[in-house]
Amino acid sequence: MTPPPRNPRQPQRGQSGRGQSQRAQGERAQGQRGQGQRGQGQRGQGQRAQGQRPAQRPTRPAQRPPQRPTRPRRPARPPRALRLGHLHPRLRFGFGVIGVALLIIGGRLVQLQGLDHGAYTNAAAEQRVDTITLHALRGQIVDRNGTPLAYTSQAQDITADPTLISADDKPLYAEALAPLIGRSAATIEQDLEQTGRYVLLAQAVDPVSARKITDLLAAKQWGGIYTQATTQRQYPGQTTAANVIGTVHSDGTGAAGIEQQFNDVLAGKDGSETYTVDNLGNMNPNSETVTNAAQNGATVALTLDQQLQYTTQQLLDQTVKSSGARGAQAAVLDAHTGQVLALAASGTFNAADPNTIDPDKSINPTVMTAFEPGSVQKAITFAAAIQEGKLKPTDTFQVPYKQRFGGVEISDAWWHPTLPFTATGVLAESSNVGTLQIAQRVAPKTWFGYEQKFGVGQKTGIELPGESAGYLPPFDTWSGSSYANLPFGQGESMTVLQLASIYQTFANDGVRIPPRIVSSVTAADGSTTRTAQPKGVQVVSAQTAKTVRTMLESVVMAGGTGVHAAVPGYRVAGKTGTAQQPDPNNGGKYSNWMNWDTFAGMLPADDPQVVIAIMVDNPAHGKEGGDVAAPLFNQIASYVVQHDHIPPTGSTGTHVPLEDCAVHEVRIASPSTVC
């Protein structure tokens, strides 16, 4: 069988093929190309390179090795450019959150370490130390003689912890404590039934009662009841001068009167005591204690006389009761200094018990409540006319019962025929018509100027809160009828203190000294500051003031309206007043039966020492100033001259005719009293 012919390109068997191998290695060194047929071609080339010719053999069909299926070549990728900072959105968000957190933490560290370092240091120090307040004692209020009107004393609050008292013992506790703290056993038991751990059973118990309570607890071996140190404001006189002294709030601060006006002075300045404590709050006995002593409040000395104030209040209360009036007020001044010796009102509250204050009434009506003065104000009109050289006490006027002024008809308070009154008679018998005739001699604006000089419509500057200025209509607002009622005290208003100040001007030879009620302030260290004397205002001359005083004496003499004000053995100068009150039930028109009754005067008239002004609010049955206020003046003045040891001058008052008896000899009253 003849073998198939050999492929001439196929190498013969038995040949080492070394050349082919070297060639193949050389070609691989240049980079082999992975084609399957390349090896066969290289072999053929290798044999030819050796000059050997293949033998003639029978050939057989050449068999090619199976070819691998070729994969399509991938397209070449473009080279990627390196892009810095190109992050996935989630990474960006994460880095942002971390950055914000770090920023917050860093800022907080800056705050703690830098800005708030001192605060935290102090807070840490506060945890190691404790500070207690050393309360200052509130200062005293005393009268002109040093008599205490208000002072602060030590006291004890009584408290309870109901959880430490058994249910069976609570009724026993209540029964035993009731008489000691001034409460009913039932209310105490109700407090002990509360669920909390703190109940205030009594506030500011006096030391004696507090000691009895602690002795009781010790004897019965009771627990759950405690005492706590505190202070209590004491008012020995209770109602005496309460309108002036005022009262305090529950926290001890001033609520009215001097207590309010001088609160900063009276309160003093609290101190402190600082010491180191352990983690349980117990004081470290080895620590250093730092003490800032409390500065107790100052003592405020008033010009008031406590005994005179008490007596005046008693007399006012009696007058209100006997006359059926709504109330009454009085002011007593030193004639030469303007110092207030008494400033009283009826029905005054108890300073120790603020619950007695009537919310519908003024705390201190003597400076807060204004009223129309009525005829008591006529003295200003007479003083203006005399000072201007327009009037003499003996000048005669034909005075009818009624007459028209400024377009309105003015009448006297009582009917009379036309009478030849002297100027003194007009004042003594309080003729409205005669007063307006005298006022016509003074220009309205000039008269208005005198009103202002006497302090009408102006605050006195007294050291008390809530003072009213009263009312004087501004001159440019006057109507045609204004000068037909103002000269006899209608259409204007004032307080009883302002009224007293007007008459102090006449008593002090025409020099008005604004009234004052505080004489000095003494600090806790003993240093004393005296109240500066206000500068006096020369309103009228000394001669004019003396002339008016002489005319005012006729008011209290026979024939005058104020005879009930006379004090035996003393010369008294003063003036009555009866002012109509507006009637709210009649459209605000002046009432025919509701009055403000007044009297203001001084004694001794020839050497005045004290000035007294009085107002009685709406006495029953339409009583007038001469019926109610004048007798009250007599009572207060009689006490003052005895209490202050004011002797009579021994002189006799000068009688000035009230009428020109040569012209008119027939009169209802006895001629001996008026001629």
CA distance 191 to 210: 19
* C-alpha radius of gyration, the chain, whole number: 55
pLDDT at 506: 98
The residue that leads in pLDDT, 541 or 101, is 541
pLDDT confidence bin for 667, thresholds 50/70/90: very low
Residues 407-441 pLDDT 10s: 999 999 999 999 999 999 999 999 999 999 999 99
Taking CA atoms, 55 is separated from 19, 45, 62, 525, in Å, by: 18, 16, 16, 149
pLDDT at 461: 96
Q: How far is CA 617 from the centre of its chain?
A: 30
Q: How far is CA 281 from the centre of its chain?
A: 37
Q: Tell me the range of 54-63, 378-387, 614-623, 664-673 where mean pLDDT is highest.
A: 378-387
pLDDT confidence bin for 258, thresholds 50/70/90: very high
User: Which of 503, 502, 605, 506 shows the shortest CA–CA distance to 557?
Assistant: 605
Residue 283 has pLDDT above 90, yes or no: no
Residue 49 has pLDDT above 80, yes or no: no
The residue that leads in pLDDT, 562 or 252, is 562
pLDDT confidence bin for 600, thresholds 50/70/90: very high
**Domain spans of the chain?**
134-153+231-302, 304-352+362-514+533-675
Residue 666 has pLDDT above 70, yes or no: no
pLDDT at 465: 96
User: If phi over 0 gives left and psi between -120 and 50 gives alpha, with beta otherwise, what is residue 617?
Assistant: beta
pLDDT confidence bin for 128, thresholds 50/70/90: confident
Residues 284-330 pLDDT 10s: 777 778 888 889 999 999 999 999 999 999 999 999 999 999 999 99
Edge-to-edge, what's the strand order for the sheet holding 129-134?
129-134, 271-276, 290-292
pLDDT at 92: 76
Whether pTM exceeds 0.85: no
pLDDT at 111: 75
Residue 20 has pLDDT above 50, yes or no: no
pLDDT confidence bin for 30, thresholds 50/70/90: very low
Q: Which residues touch 158 (CB under 8 Å, ≥6 apart)? A: 177, 181, 200, 201, 202, 205, 210, 213, 225, 226, 227, 228
pLDDT confidence bin for 636, thresholds 50/70/90: very high
pLDDT at 91: 79
Percentage of the chain beyond pLDDT 90 is 65
The least confident of 11-15, 320-324, 623-627 is 11-15
Residue 641 has pLDDT above 80, yes or no: yes
The residue assigned the tokens 């008119």 is: 664
The least confident of 3-17, 172-186, 549-563 is 3-17
pLDDT at 16: 43
pLDDT at 357: 93
CA distance 246 to 254: 8
**Residue 511, helix vs strand vs coil:** strand
Residue 120 has pLDDT above 50, yes or no: yes
Residues 52-99 pLDDT 10s: 444 455 555 555 666 666 666 777 776 666 555 566 777 778 888 898
Domain covering 304-352+362-514+533-675, topology: Beta-lactamase (3.40.710)
Residues 508-520 pLDDT 10s: 999 999 999 999 9
Rounded to a whole number, what is the distance in angstroms from the first to the last CA of the chain?
201
The residue that leads in pLDDT, 598 or 663, is 598
Residue 594 has pLDDT above 60, yes or no: yes
Q: What is the mean pLDDT of the segment spanning 647-652?
A: 92
* Cβ-based neighbour number of residue 7 at 10 Å: 16
pLDDT at 43: 42
The residue assigned the tokens 């001259």 is: 641
Q: What is the mean pLDDT of the segment spanning 104-113?
A: 81
Percentage of the chain beyond pLDDT 70 is 84
pLDDT confidence bin for 25, thresholds 50/70/90: very low
Residue 607 has pLDDT above 90, yes or no: yes
CA distance 245 to 518: 11
User: If phi over 0 gives left and psi between -120 and 50 gives alpha, with beta otherwise, what is residue 466?
Assistant: left
What mean pLDDT value characterizes the chain? 87
Q: What is the DSSP string of 156-181?
A: EEEEE-GGGS-TTTHHHHHHHHHHHH
pLDDT at 125: 67
pLDDT at 675: 72
The residue that leads in pLDDT, 13 or 623, is 623
* CATH architecture of the domain with range 134-153+231-302: Alpha-Beta Complex (3.90)
In degrees and rounded to multiples of 5, residue 30 shows phi and psi of -90, -5
Which residues carry out catalysis?
A: 375
